Structure 1
Amino acid sequence: MIDLKDKQVETVLEEAIKELQTDDECRLVSITKKIDKVDPLHFFMAAKQLGGNRTFWTDSKQNLWLTGAGKAHQFSAEIDRFEETEKQWNAVLDQAIIHNPFTVPGTGIVALGGMSFDPKKQPTELWKEFRPSQFTIPAFLLTRYKNDHYLTINIYVKKNDHAIQLADELKSIEAKLLLGRVNHSDSLTITDQLEVEPEKWKNSVREATEEIRNGIVEKIVLAREVRLKFNRQADIAIILSNLINAQPNSFIFAYEIGDNCFVGASPERLVKLEGKQLLSTCLAGTAPRGKTKDDDIRICNELMNDEKNRQEHAFVVTMIKRAIKDYCTEVDIPDEPVIYPLKNLQHLYTPVEAKLKDDHSIFDIIKQLHPTPALGGTPRKESLAFIRDNELLDRGWYGAPIGWLDSNQNGEFAVAIRSALIQGNEASLFAGCGVVMDSDPEKEYEETKIKLLPMLTVLGGKQ
Structure 2
Amino acid sequence: MTPLTAAVPVFAVRLAAVTTVPVSAPLVVRTMEIDAPGPLLDLLPENAPMAWTRRGEGIVGWGEAARFDTVGPHRFATADRWWRRMVGTAVVRDEVGLPGTGPVAFGSFAFDDMPGASTLVLPETVVGHRGGRWWVTTVSVSGNLPGLPDVLADAAPRRPEAVTFADGSHDGTEWERIVAEAVSRINAGDLEKVVLARDMIAESAARIDQRWPIQRLAERYPRCWTFSVDGLLGATPELLVRRERGLVTSRVLAGTIRRSGDDAHDLALAASLARSSKDLEEHEYAVRSVANALDPFCSSMNVPEAPFVLHLPNVMHLATDLAGVASDGSSALGLASALHPSAAVGGTPTSAARELIREIEDLDRGRYAGPVGWIDGDGDGEWGIALRCAALDRADDSRMRLFAGCGIVAGSDPEAELAESVAKLVPMRDALSG
Give TM-score scaled by structure 1 length.
0.84
Q: Which amino acid aligns with 2:206?
A: R
| Map of 1:17 onto structure 2 | none
Query: How far apart, CA to CA, are the structure 1 residues paired with 2:191 and 2:364?
Result: 22
Q: Secondary structure at the match of 2:356?
A: helix
After TM superposition, the structure 1 = structure 2 runs for residues 448-463 of structure 1, keeping only pairs within 5 Å, are: 448-460=421-433
Query: Could you tell me how far apart the structure 1 residues matched to 2:153 and 2:275 are?
Result: 49
- 1:227 and 2:201 equivalent? yes
Determine if contact 1:103/1:408 at 8 Å carries over to the other structure.
Answer: no
Name the structure 2 match of 1:57: 52
1:3 equivalent in structure 2: none
Determine the C-alpha separation between the residues in 2 that align with 1:443 and 1:26.
54
CA distance in 2: counterparts of 1:104 and 1:182, whole angstroms: 31
Residue 252 in 1 paired to residue 245 in 2? no
1:447 to 411, 420, 427: 420
AA partner of residue 67 (structure 2)? Q
- Structure 2 residue 97 is matched with structure 1 residue 103: yes
Name the residue aligned to 1:21.
none
1:373 aligns with 2:370: no
2:313 alignment partner, SS class: coil
Distance (whole Å) between structure 2 residues aligned to residue 29 and residue 100 of structure 1: 11
1:332 pairs with one of 299, 302, 316: 302
Structure number with greater Rg is 1
Partner of 2:382: 412
**1:119 alignment partner, SS class:** coil
Q: Helix, strand or coil: the match of 2:142?
A: strand
Unmatched segments (≥5 aa) in structure 2: 3-22
Structure 2 counterpart of 1:308, one-letter code: K
Give the secondary-structure state (helix, strand or coil) at the position aligned to 1:294.
helix
CA distance in 1, matches of 2:102, 2:24: 22
Please tell me whether the aligned partners of residues 32 and 135 of structure 2 are also in contact (alpha carbons under 8 angstroms).
yes
Q: Does 1:269 align with 2:262?
A: no
Q: In the alignment, what sits opposite 1:42?
A: 42
Q: CA–CA distance in 1 between the matches of 2:194 and 2:217?
A: 29
Is the CA contact (8 Å cut-off) linking 2:367 and 2:386 kept in structure 1? yes
Matched-pair contact (CA < 8 Å) for 2:241–2:383: yes
2:81 corresponds to which letter in structure 1? K
The 5 A counterparts of 1:170-181 are 174-176=149-151, 180=153
- As a proportion of its length, which structure holds more helix? 1
Please, which moves more after superposition, 295-304 or 401-410? 401-410
CA contact (8 A) 1:316 1:373 kept: yes
Q: Secondary structure at the match of 1:216?
A: coil
When residues 317 and 27 of structure 1 are mapped into structure 2, their CA distance, relative to the original with a 3 A threshold, is same
Is the 2:212–2:432 contact (alpha carbons within 8 Å) kept by the matching residues of 1?
no
1:127 is matched with none
- Cα distance in 1 for residues equivalent to 2:56 and 2:35: 18
Instruction: Indicate how the Cα distance of structure 1 residues 335 and 182 shifts in structure 2: closer, same or farther if over 3 A, else same.
Output: farther
Q: How many residue pairs align between the two structures? A: 407
Shift of 1:102: 1.8
Measured in 2, the distance between the counterparts of 1:186 and 1:58 equals: 21
Q: Which whole-Å CA distance do the structure 1 matches of 2:414 and 2:297 have between them?
A: 38
Matched, 1:197 2:170: yes
The 5 A counterparts of 1:148-167 are: 148-157=133-142
| Structure 1, 319-328 or 373-382: larger mean CA deviation | 319-328
- Per the normalisation by structure 2, the TM-score is 0.89
Q: C-alpha distance in 2, partners of 1:135/1:31?
A: 19
1:301 pairs with one of 271, 279, 292 = 271
How far residue 232 of structure 1 moved from its aligned partner, in angstroms, is: 2.3
Question: Deviation at 1:193?
Answer: 2.6
Equivalent position amino acid for 2:364 in 1: D
Say if 2:59 is the partner of 1:66.
Answer: yes
Shift of 1:283: 0.7
1:431 corresponds to which of 397, 404, 411 = 404
Matched residues in 1 for 2:320 and 2:88: separation? 37
Residues 225, 236 of structure 2: 8 Å contact kept: yes
2-side partners of 1:221 and 1:417: how far apart? 12
Q: Considering only aligned residues, what root-mean-square deviation do their CA atoms show, in Å?
A: 2.0
> C-alpha distance in 1, partners of 2:101/2:406?
37
CA shift at 1:184, angstroms? 5.0
For the 8 Å contact 2:62–2:124, the answer to whether it is kept is yes
Amino acid at match of 2:226: I
1:284 maps to 2:254: yes
Which shows bigger deviation, 307-316 or 190-199?
Answer: 190-199
Specify the alignment match of 1:145 in structure 2. Answer: 130
SS in 2 for 1:197: coil
Deviation (angstroms), 1:325:
1.3
2:69 counterpart (71, 76, 84): 76
1:360-414 deviations in whole A, cap 9, x for unaligned?
Answer: 3323321221111111110000100010121121101100100001113420000
Distance 1:297 1:440 in 2: 23
5+ long unaligned stretches in structure 1:
1-5, 7-23, 124-130
Distance 1:230 1:387 in 2: 30
Query: Is the alpha carbon distance of 1:185 and 1:55 closer, same or farther for their aligned partners in structure 2, counting shifts above 3 Å?
Result: closer
Percent of aligned pairs with the same amino acid: 30
Distance 1:53 1:192, change over 3 A: closer
Which shifted more, 349-358 or 287-296? 287-296
Q: Which residue of 1 aligns with 2:14?
A: none
- SS for the counterpart of 1:364 is helix
